[in-house]
């Protein structure tokens, strides 16, 4: 019997160097802790091409490392086929989610598209603030952690995973 295709999650922010890589790193860490690395994979992308090919911001890398997560990636831009390849597209802001919805309509893709903080009880309906300009990575981390925990719990329920 063939193994089922892994559930694929894409985190999206503007430049793909701060928030979405932070979410990807935190989420991957939680997935690994849950023993689901063979069932769930994730990636991140930016709506803009500002930072394509650049490494994750130093602030994100440091706050992840401080929290026991060693993660670094290279920025890439969201492409319209992402709406066909990913099962979940999770925006850091409402406009990122809306942007992905527009692409999904163009491609006919049908991923779950939501804001990360919609998977929390305390911050539902809010955007993850951008720490790039004011160096608020420490403030953003608990928001991302809570959203990633809620997202993983939702995926486990929806996909009947242990």
pTM of the model: 0.97
Domain range annotation of the chain: 7-158
Mean pLDDT in runs of 10 for the chain (162 residues)? Answer: 87 97 98 98 96 96 97 94 97 97 95 98 97 97 98 98 95
CATH fold, domain 7-158, is Rossmann fold (3.40.50)
Give 99-117 pLDDT, tens digit per residue.
999 999 999 999 999 999 9
Closest CA to 59 of 132, 3, 121: 132
Residues marked active site are found at: 13, 19, 130
């Amino acid at each position: 019997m063939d193994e089922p295709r892994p559930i694929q999650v894409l985190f999206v922010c503007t430049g793909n160097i701060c928030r979405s890589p932070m979410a990807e790193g935190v989420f991957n860490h939680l997935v690994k802790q849950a023993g689901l690395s063979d069932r769930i994979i994730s990636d991140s992308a930016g709506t803009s091409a500002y930072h394509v090919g650049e490494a994750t911001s130093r602030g994100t890398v440091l706050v992840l490392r401080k929290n026991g997560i060693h993660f670094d990636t290279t920025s890439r831009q969201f492409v319209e086929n992402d709406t066909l390849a990913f099962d979940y597209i999770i925006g850091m802001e409402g406009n990122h989610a809306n942007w992905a919805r527009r692409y999904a309509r163009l491609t006919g893709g049908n991923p779950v598209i939501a804001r990360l903080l919609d998977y929390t009880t305390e911050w539902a309906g809010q955007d993850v603030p951008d720490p790039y300009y004011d160096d608020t990575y420490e403030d953003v981390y608990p928001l991302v952690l809570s959203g990633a925990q809620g997202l993983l719990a939702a995926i486990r329920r929806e996909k009947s995973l242990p």
